């Protein structure tokens, strides 16, 4: 549906996004994860057609989008910012803003407003103004007003950053309900991998404005020491990660979850990284194509390993079970 090709985006000459290709297919459930400053918000603003890339092209259904996209095209995609702002007026007026802009008839506008307000638990807040709402409520109103305009692509930047667990659950349920009624693509930028795994079909990682070549878990920004040896040790939290590279200085390390061996005790092996800890979470790994289980363990830092459901059962993996994560120094990607 919407794609970026050869995009290099700069602010004041500084390259903040460098993507050869990024696409949000129709009906996709896509999560973009990465550190703060990785370029997620910029990516969403380009996809929302709010900014034109400094270099490269935005395509919609294969056709290039001009620097001044026509309003009919802009109305097919809606962005909810990380810290959304409510416009002057009541919650009701905010939800109806996009409908008014489109000239939606009064009865239809009333129906849609009631629908999204109910889905997001906003019925009791409709007459309130922005200064009478909490950050979490503002975020829900922002999602509601975006859902009300029924976009083909909904872009959400950290939509649960101000929400508690219950509100976060309500938001994802509302999205699921809306998608059940009418298919549309959703692209969420998040740093919460758990949400991304539970919810998205496809997860992509951004680091330093580029798509990470591996799945997004286990990304660490580190400083690699100078030296000529082929194996270096990078300090990550309270642990050292051995990595085979000739790079030095600031880099991002990625440990592919499928390259981590999970065992209940230390095994003699060639792995240079052997880290003991306890399981903190077990979740289905949707983006691994079904059947995968994401095992998160605290081994000094949080690491995620992906194993088969069968292996998880045999090892009786569950929260608080002691485990050992092992991986080779050469398995660690550096970029």
Partner 1 sequence: MDFLAEGFRRALALLLSGDAEVFGIALLTLKIAVVATTVACGIGLPLGYFLATRRFWGRRAALTAVNTALAFPTVVVGLILYGLLSRHGPLGGLGWLYTWQAIVVGDVLLALPIAAALSAAAVQGVDPRVRRTAQTLGAGRWLTAWTVAREARFALAAVITAAFGQVVAEIGAAMMLGGNIRGSTRTLTTAVALYTSQGDFGLAVALGLFLIVIAIAVNVTLQMLQGKGGD
Binding residues (CB under 8 A) for partner 1: these are 45, 48, 50, 71, 74-75, 77-79, 81, 83-85, 87-88, 97-98, 101-102, 129-131, 145-146, 149
Q: How far is the CB of 296 from partner 1 (least distance, A)?
A: 34
- Least Å distance, CB 88 to partner 1, is 5
- CB 308, min distance to partner 1, A: 42
Q: Give me the least distance between CB of 271 and partner 1, in Å please.
A: 48
Nearer to partner 1, 129 or 328 (CB): 129
Q: What is the maximum span of the chain, computed from C-alpha positions, in angstroms?
A: 72
State the Cα–Cα distance between residues 297 and 255, nearest whole angstrom. 14
Q: Please say which residue, 138 or 170, places its beta carbon nearer to partner 1.
A: 138
Distance CA 88, CA 120 (A): 20
* Residue 201: CB minimum distance to partner 1, A: 24
Residues in the chain: 335
The CA-based angle 239-285-41, given to 5 degrees, is 75
Residue 151: phi and psi, rounded to 5, are -75, 160
Q: Which residues contact 93 (CB under 8 A, 6 or more apart)?
A: 87
Cβ distance to partner 1 smaller for residue 99 or 205: 99
Indicate the residue among 68 and 165 with the shorter CB distance to partner 1.
68
Smallest distance from the beta carbon of 80 to partner 1, in angstroms?
A: 8
CA atoms of 98 and 327, how far apart (whole Å): 51
Choose between 152 and 259: whose C-beta lies nearer to partner 1: 152
Residue 319, φ and ψ in degrees, nearest 5: -55, 135
- Tokens 């592919």 correspond to 256
User: Which is closer to partner 1, CB of 156 or CB of 170?
Assistant: 156
**Given strand 153-157, what is the order of strands in its sheet?**
77-80, 153-157, 185-190, 29-33, 202-207, 210-211
């Amino acid at each position: 549906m919407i794609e970026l090709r050869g995009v290099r985006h700069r602010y004041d000459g500084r390259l903040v996004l460098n993507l050869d290709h990024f696409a949000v297919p129709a009906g996709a459930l896509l999560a973009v994860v990465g550190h703060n400053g990785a370029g997620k918000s910029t990516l969403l603003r380009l996809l929302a057609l709010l900014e034109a890339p400094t270099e490269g092209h935005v395509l919609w259904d294969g056709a290039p989008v001009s620097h001044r996209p026509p309003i009919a095209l802009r109305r097919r995609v809606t962005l909810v910012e990380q810290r959304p702002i409510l416009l002057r007026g009541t919650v009701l007026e905010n939800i109806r803003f996009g409908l008014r802009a489109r000239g939606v008839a009064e009865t239809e506008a009333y129906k849609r407003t009631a629908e999204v307000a109910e889905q997001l638990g906003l019925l009791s807040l409709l007459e309130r103004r922005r200064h009478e709402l909490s950050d979490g409520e503002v975020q829900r109103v922002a999602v509601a007003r975006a859902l009300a305009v029924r976009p083909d692509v909904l872009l959400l930047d950290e939509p649960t950053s101000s929400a508690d667990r219950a509100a976060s659950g309500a938001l994802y349920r509302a999205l699921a309900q809306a998608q059940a009624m009418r298919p549309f693509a959703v692209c969420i930028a998040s740093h919460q991998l758990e949400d991304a795994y539970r919810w998205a079909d496809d997860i992509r990682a951004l680091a330093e404005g580029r798509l990470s070549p591996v799945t997004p878990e286990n990304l660490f920004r580190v400083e690699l020491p100078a030296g000529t040896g082929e194996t270096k040790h990078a300090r990550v939290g309270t642990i050292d990660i051995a990595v085979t590279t000739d790079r030095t200085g600031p880099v991002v390390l990625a440990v592919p979850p499928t390259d981590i061996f999970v065992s209940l005790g230390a095994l003699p092996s060639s792995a240079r990284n052997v880290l003991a800890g306890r399981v903190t979470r077990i979740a289905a790994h949707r983006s691994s194509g079904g059947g995968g289980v994401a095992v998160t363990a605290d081994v000094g830092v949080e690491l995620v390993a992906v194993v088969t459901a069968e292996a998880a059962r045999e090892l009786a993996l569950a929260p608080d079970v002691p485990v050992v994560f092992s991986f080779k120094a050469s398995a660690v990607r550096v970029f």
